[in-house]
Amino acid sequence: MERLDSTQVYANAWMTVREDRIRRHDGSPGIYGVIDKPDYALVIPLDGERLMLVEQYRYPLGLRRWEFPQGTAPDRAVLPPGELAARELREETGLIAATMTPIGTLDVAAGMSSQRGHVYLATNLTQGPPARELEEQDMRAAWFPRATFESMIRTSDITDAQTVAAYTQLLLHEHHASA
């Protein structure tokens, strides 16, 4: 496909939305609506057989949801993924990781968004105070045994697609490390 032109139709501190006029491979015209957001980091805090999750209110769903710490830099800033991962971990949980291992990349919604996620495994953790953003003031963090975490996925207490996909990347990382 070829982009013929692009018009920004909306912008705020977290994202822009654009409409692209395109030409398909067969020459016919079309349009794409695209949500542009900076890349995010998702962090899996692991302490032995425990995983730390955060719970927060997700406005579009109208629900509180458990998920791994994750996010972008303020004002659509672009940060190196490892720096962003350490920042999100510290901000949301207060944890500082002596070891941050990149274990994968995720595409959030490739049919409509340019945003990509960088998944990190955080180990050798030290607890400090969180430094949450205004939208995260009601966030809470808690440790869960792996068996409980997996049960929460099965019972739909964890429905965040990035969290479920990142856990799969963790399992593959561990399987590869033990092979």
pTM for this predicted structure:
0.91
Domain boundaries, the chain: 2-36, 40-178
**pLDDT tens figures, 22-40:** 999 999 999 999 999 999 9
* Cβ neighbours of 155 (radius 10 Å): 9
β-sheet with 16-23: strand ranges across: 2-11, 16-23, 29-36
Topology, domain 40-178: Nucleoside Triphosphate Pyrophosphohydrolase (3.90.79)
pLDDT of residue 78: 84
pLDDT of residue 6: 96
Regarding beta strands 40-47 and 116-127, do their DSSP bridges make them parallel or antiparallel, or are they unpaired? parallel
Which are the contacts of 11, defined by CB distance < 8 A and separation ≥ 6?
17
What is the C-alpha to C-alpha distance for residues 50 and 17, in angstroms, rounded to an integer? 38
What is the C-alpha to C-alpha distance for residues 105 and 53, in angstroms, rounded to an integer? 19
